[in-house]
Each structure stands twice: as C-alpha cells, then as structure tokens.
A and B are shown apart, each in its own frame.
Chain A
C-alpha cells in the first residue's frame, strides 16, 4: 500500500514538473532577433508586439534631442492696402521644413510680453505666393504663376485673442515659435510693427485704370456726338415694337401694364427700367391710352409716379395723368406675382412690359400674360431668367439692350454717343479676350492676373 502511495506521489511530482516546464517554454516563445546588433539595426519596429523581452539589454545610447528648424529671417511690417488694423509676418521657408513642423505667432504689447497667441499653422500652409489679397500691383506677375514655388510664409494679424482688432498707430511686438514633435524653439529676435491706414488700394490699380479708361471713352463719344449727331445705332427690334404695342393697346381700348422689376432703386437695372418708363409714358400720353404701373418698392413707386407725371406733362397731356394708376402692391415676391397675375386676368392689358431685374416669379408673370393674349416686351439682365422671357415674350431685350433702350428710344445724340463709347469698350474687351486666349495657349499667363482685382 505504502509503495502504491509513493508511486502516486512520484507521478504527481513528475506531472507538476512537466506542466511547469510546458508553461515556461510557452512564455519564452517570443521571436527574438538572432543578434542584439541585428535588433538595433531593425529598430523598434522589430520588437513591436513583444510583451516581454528576455535576454535583450536596454539600449545604451540616449535618445537624441529633436532639431527644430527655424527660418533664416523673419520680418514684421504694416499690412499694405488696409484700413490700419493689420500687420503682417513674413519669413522664408526654413531648411528641413516638414509637415510635422508648426509655426505659432504670438503678439505682445512690449518686447517682453505678455504674449497672446494669435495663430498657429503647419509649415505647409500660409504662402505669400498664394495670398494675393492686399498685395500691390507688381505682385500680379507672381501670384499663381506657373513655375513659381512657395518659398515665403505670410501670416496676417488683424485681431488679437477675443477678436479684438489691432489699433492704428500702436506698436505691436511679434514672437515666432516653431514646434516639432513636442519640442518648441523661438525665433531669437522679437520684431515689431505699427499698423497704418492707407489712402489708396494699390491692389485695385488695374480696376481704376480700366474704369477711368472706359469712362473716358464714353465721355469722348458723347462729346463727339455733340459735333456729329448722325450716329448709326443697330436696330433693336424689341424697342421698335414699343410703338406697335402701345398703338395696339390704344386701338383695343385696353390698358398697358408696365413692371419695373423686383429690385430697389439701388439696382442699375431698375434705373434703366425707370428710364424706359419715362419714354413709354410720353408715348402713352400721346396715344391717350391708359398706363398701369404696379410697384414692389416704395421708393421706386414715388420715382415712377414722378416719371410718368413728367412724361404726360412733356406730351402736353398733364390732365390725363392719374396718380392712382401707379400704385404699391407689396414687397413680398410671390404676393406681388399673384397680385400682378390678378391684374392681368381682370383688366386684360393689351401690352405688358417687364423691365428690370426678376427672380423665380418671372415665368409666372409672363406665362399668365401670354395666356391673356397680350403683346409682351421684356428687358432684363437677370441671366437666369432670360430663357423664360425669351420663351414667353414676343420681344426680349437681352442684358445690355435694357440699358441701351432709353438712349435708343430718345434718339438724342448725347445719349446715343454713350452707346458708341460702350461699343468701343466692348471691342477692346473682345481684342483682349483674343490676345489673352492666344497668350494663355502658348503658356504666357500673366495677362490673366492683369484683369483680376486683388483688393
């Protein structure tokens, strides 16, 4: 019996020893590099996933400090072409700049701070070559030009923290800090600049030159028209039809409906529509017909009343003028459309004029007018609504024809002269488009920037 017990105890001890050895062999089953030198060569990636490293001594060398690159120079100056509320930090691309490098700009009231962080950006962003805005005329020849690489960082400061704008005439100190992998390095010099306001935006020099040039051309042709009033202006069939439409309404004994568009008097197309209204009112007064002008804008209403009254007076029929025929409907877009459609359906005007700027209600108005059988003349510079007008109206004044209409109807040499000037400007634009297309085709791209406002 004792022998049996001894045998069983021996077996248990052997079993325990076997289990222990098996467990030990499992724990040390991690793949190790064959040589410590090989492990060093393979780098830390080779040891990834190892929970316990047995037999590998820790690296004897210390981790080297991160080298944070800094730009070779930094300048801080007043922001050009602004209202005196900005300064600009410029610095050359540092050697060894990577995506991981970040620049932080801080502003202080004095050279020793306290510093307010006003912006932080990665080294791959904020290039002067891509800025354009605020930069003077000579910059056009660099901006976005093919082959020009990004070399200069540019950071504009217009607000302190809390959106507090910079003050004109106050000196601000700027500190630039570069950060890489948690290590920071300040540019050794603290620089300063004072925001100053400018009285001419050099970024818009090209706009000024072209505007003055076009204006002078128009004035020149007006002066020329004074000397030689026999100017040829091409036929605009939509305007030739104005007399026909008014005559038809008179014959039928029905009113004429005139709309000035949906915009306010601040819109030039409304002014053009009112100019045409003056001519139309004069002819309506001559024909002794009735003119209805529903308005959407109160100021347009008062001006339209004055214009129609003057038209009737000029035609020698002030007695025929009725102020109630020029009235206010509503400022709401679709309520206005509904009200005008109601007028069309009830009064059945023989001629409808849609001049000025229109939005989505254009088709509702003109389709209703077409369904009543009225002769319809439209004139708009709303390019999105033009297809609807062309489809539903008998005549459409497209874009610039709306602005030329007043001059065309008046036949006055002075006003017609301005049309000639406008045409000359158009010729200039066409020549520039052809030259520009050719130059761009052959890779000369600066001409594109000559016609771009930078301000």
Chain B
C-alpha cells in the first residue's frame, strides 16, 4: 500500500516525464502515436473526473441547505437549476431552439456578459488606486500610464502626433523588456520545477507532503 501511495507515483512521474521529454526530440510516427495515446488517456480521466465534480457540487450545496447556513437560498437555486437543466437536456437535447438551448442563449450568455462587463468598473477603481502618485515609482507609473492611454485614443493624435509614437515606444521597449525578463525567469523556473517533479524531489502535488 505504501508502495502504491509513495514510490509508484514517483516512478510513474519519472517514466512519463522522461518519455515526454525525449518525445520532443523524436519526430518519428511512434513518438506522435505515443503523444496522442497519452492525450486520449487524459481525456478519459477528465471524463471520469466530471462525476467527482458533480458529486462535489451537489454535496457541498445540499450540506448548506441541510444546515441552513447563511445564504442557503442560493444553494437551493443552484441545485434546482442544475437538476432542471439536466432533465431538459436529456428530454429535448441542448441544441439551439430547445428549452435548454433557450436557457443557455437567453439566461446564461447575458449573465456571463454582465459579469465580464463589470470588469470596466473594476479597472476604473483599480486604476484610481494605482495612479495615486505617492512615491516616485508611482509617479513614473502614472506618467507612463497616461501617455499610453492618451496615445492610443484619437484625442492623443489631435494633441500631438508624437504622442502615439511615444506610447508605442513605451509598450515596445521598456514594457516589452520587463515582460521578456519575467517570461525568461518563468521558463527557467518551469525547467527547475519539472526536474524536481520528474526526479521525485518535489512531491507535494501527490498530497503526501514530503
């Protein structure tokens, strides 16, 4: 049992990790088949895991309803919405024009769009906080932000044709240099964490601590 919980997953991680690493340098058909074979396994596992997700969702909300915790009404709505969608989907399918399709198009999509639209207000409030020039760094951020914003709208071109050029320069040079530095660091860190996982040095993801 200890072998299955500790050693076997590490061995599996090593074999699979090395196989996937070597595959990157082997252009043969076998290498391609191996990759698609593993991808198919992953799809099957994801399919099974959906059952866990549904059970978790229902269990979590039913517990809330049973214990009458604050806001349990939302859980009642979640459970009812879940059940009615399954029933409608099984009876009429989920194609456009069916009741489930109608609910998706006229309830779900508008709610999703509403949530996305709130981002505009959050950006305004976050920008207000970020642009308070209390330090020299914040002042530099404020100035760069203002130049980029004004340079990207028609009024910027009206004020000065050089504003948009300067805005592009900020985005393509200092900003890009910063981003590339981050990306380079991330790539090296990913190699390091991959080595740790493949060689079994990092095992926290297995849920067994160290």
Residue of chain A at shortest CB distance from B71: A346
B-chain residues with CB within 8 Å of residue A367 when the two chains form the complex: 122, 125-126
Rounded to whole angstroms, the CA-CA distance of A391 and B190 in the bound complex is 25
A223 to chain B, nearest CB (A): 11
Q: Which residue of B lies closest to A423 (CB)?
A: B188
**B contact patch SS:** helix
B49 within 8 A of A: yes
Contact assessment for B191 and A215 in the assembled complex, using a CB-CB cutoff below 8 Å: yes
With A218-B191, A272-B193, A360-B119 known to touch, is A306 a contact of B206 (CB < 8 Å)? Answer: yes
User: Is B123 positioned at the interface, with any CB of A under 8 Å from its CB?
Assistant: yes
Closest to A296 in B: B53
In the complex, the answer to whether B209 meets A310 with C-beta atoms within 8 Å is yes
Of the residues A299, A383, A407, contact of B46 by C-beta under 8 Å: A299
Beta-carbon contact of B182 and A398 below 8 Å: yes
Stretch of B25-33, B89-97, B152-160, B166-174 at the chain-chain interface = B25-33
Do A81 and B188 have beta carbons less than 8 Å apart?
Answer: no
B179 and A383 contacting across the interface, CB-CB below 8 Å: yes
Q: Is the CB of A83 within 8 A of B32?
A: yes
* A-contact bits for B185-204, CB 8 A (1 contact / 0 none): 11011111111110101101
Query: Is B37 an interface residue when CB atoms closer than 8 A count as contact?
Result: no
Which residues of B are found within 8 Å of A268, using beta-carbon distances? 190, 193-194
Complex-state Cα separation, A327 to B127, whole angstroms: 33
Q: Verify B209–A218 contact, CB threshold 8 A.
A: no
A332 to B104, CA, bound (A): 13
Tell me the complex Cα distance, A239–B165, Å. 40
Determine if B68 is an interface residue (Cβ-Cβ < 8 Å).
Answer: no
Residues of B within 8 A of A415 (CB): 196, 201-202
Do A406 and B195 contact each other (CB < 8 Å), given the known contacts A329-B57, A383-B179?
A: no
Complex contact B112–A298 (CB within 8 A): no
In Å, the complex CA distance between A403 and B60 comes to 31
Q: Is the CB of B126 within 8 A of A388?
A: yes
**How many B residues, CB 8 Å from partner?**
64
Segment of A25-33, A145-153, A173-181, A198-206 engaged in the interface with chain B? A198-206
Residue A320, interface by CB 8 Å: no
Using Cβ atoms and an 8 Å threshold, which residues of chain A touch B190?
268, 403
Q: Does B41 contact A (CB under 8 A)?
A: no
Whether the Cβ atoms of B182 and A383 lie closer than 8 Å is yes
Complex contact A302–B49 (CB within 8 A): yes
> Cβ of A242: which chain B residues have Cβ within 8 Å of it?
none
- List A341-393 residues whose CB lies under 8 Å from chain B: 342, 346, 360, 363-364, 367, 381, 383, 386-388, 390-392
**Contact assessment for B45 and A299 in the assembled complex, using a CB-CB cutoff below 8 Å:** yes
Residue with the greatest number of chain A CB neighbours at <10 A, chosen from B49, B56, B123: B56
A197-B27, A201-B26 as given contacts; A426 in contact with B185, CB under 8 Å = yes
A403, B183: Cα distance in complex, Å? 13
Contact check: which of B59, B112, B119, B189 meets A422 at CB < 8 Å? B189
**Contact of A70 with B by CB under 8 A:** no
Does B136 make an interface contact (CB < 8 A)?
no
- In the complex, which residues of chain A have a beta carbon less than 8 angstroms from the beta carbon of B42? 266
Enumerate chain B residues within 8 angstroms of A346, measured Cβ to Cβ: 70-71
CB-CB nearest 4 A-B residue pairs: A306-B207, A403-B189, A298-B53, A298-B49
Q: What are 18 residue pairs bridging A and B, where the CB atoms are less than 8 Å apart in the complex?
A: A219-B199, A301-B56, A307-B204, A311-B209, A328-B60, A334-B112, A363-B122, A364-B122, A392-B126, A392-B129, A399-B183, A400-B182, A400-B188, A403-B189, A403-B192, A415-B201, A418-B192, A455-B27
